[in-house]
Amino acid sequence: MGFLCVQQLIHFSIISGGKELTSLLKEMDYYLHLLQTYKSEMTRRFLLNSRETVSMLIDKGEATSIEAQECPGADTEPGNVILNMFYFHRAFQSYWLGFSERCCHFAQKCAVAFPKPGRLYGTQVRFYHGLNLLDMLKKKTNALRRKEVDEVIALMKIAASHADSNFRNKVELLEAEKYGLDARHSQAVRLYDAAIASAKNSRFIHEQGLACEKAGFYYKKIRDVRNAFDYFQQARGCYEEWGSRVKVEFIRRELDGLNIHYQLTL
């Protein structure tokens, strides 16, 4: 039962951004060490799944990965809870690391793994899948993807009606991105700021950073360099607090590019 509680704590910490990633990694390594004495194969596989996600979010595993293990999702039948969580972690990782097609692939796997509405993991993946679809629509219009985005927003609104503090920021960010896609400026900027405020109130530091990042890209698209720079700086601060070196470096490159652009226009 103790290890079952550990699994849930780790998963919720990853989803909520509730713990700094390096600290969370050390905590998981402590539990993996305990598992050398207190054998639990299921717990070990769950923790390896979670550990890989955290390691990838910190530095793509460059300095934080551990010795290669067997794939935590291997040798399991469809519907197995370990395999389902493997799909969840792959979808989560893929979105944060910017792998759009991979995110779509594993989000579809998760739709089968978590078919019932109201399941936390399915709802969480649906949010990232919706953002991923919107990113893809920015590059190329697609009626089917647009319809799917509308369906995601409708389902996320239902989730928010049951757990406002968990999902309001997600609905606001999805709608901000949709309004930005449609060049509805006043609605977009209002909802970006609302999503940032809601994520901050709920202490979702990673999703606060994500909303700032998306606002930065929106302002960059409309050539408002000053606001883009401001929101990217906010995003960097959030990602530094979260402990994701990958995202900090990503935002740093955007800030450097804006600096160069601003100097060239002086």
Express as a percent the part of the chain with pLDDT over 70.
Answer: 93
128-169 pLDDT per residue, tens? 999 999 999 999 999 999 999 999 999 999 999 999 999 999
Give me the CATH topology for the region 173-266: 1.25.40
- Crossing angle (nearest 10°) for helices 81-97 and 100-113: 150
* pLDDT given at position 236: 98
- Side-chain-side CA neighbours of residue 108 (13 Å): 7
Closest residue by Cα to residue 32 from 72, 84, 77, 74:
72
CB 192 within 8 A of CB 214: yes
Q: What is the largest CA-CA distance in the chain?
A: 64
Nearest to 145 by CA among 107, 112, 171: 107
Interval 35-79: pLDDT, tens = 989 888 888 889 999 999 999 999 999 988 876 555 555 555 555
| Cα 101 to the center of its chain, rounded Å | 15
Does 96 or 39 have the greater pLDDT score? 96
Average pLDDT over residues 90-117: 93
Check residue 72 and give its pLDDT. Answer: 54
Average pLDDT, the chain: 91
* Per-residue pLDDT tens digits for 208-220: 999 999 999 999 9
- Using a pLDDT cut of 90, give the percent of the chain over it: 78
Q: Which of 11, 16, 115, 106 is nearest to 53 (CA)?
A: 11
Locate tokens 């989730």: which residue?
159
Q: What is the mean pLDDT of residues 169-180?
A: 98
Could you read off the pLDDT of 230-263 as tens digits, one per residue? Answer: 999 999 999 999 999 999 999 999 999 998 766 5
Count of CA atoms in the C-beta half-sphere (13 A) of 203: 6
pLDDT at 99 exceeding the cut of 90: yes
Upper half-sphere CA count for residue 229 (Cβ side, 13 Å): 11
Contact of 231 with 213, CB cutoff 8 Å: yes
Question: Mean per-residue pLDDT for 225-231?
Answer: 95
What is the domain partition of the chain in residue ranges? 1-59, 81-162, 173-266
pLDDT of residue 69: 53
- CA pair distance 94, 103, nearest whole angstrom: 5
Name residue 59's amino acid: D
Report pLDDT for 266.
43
DSSP 182: T
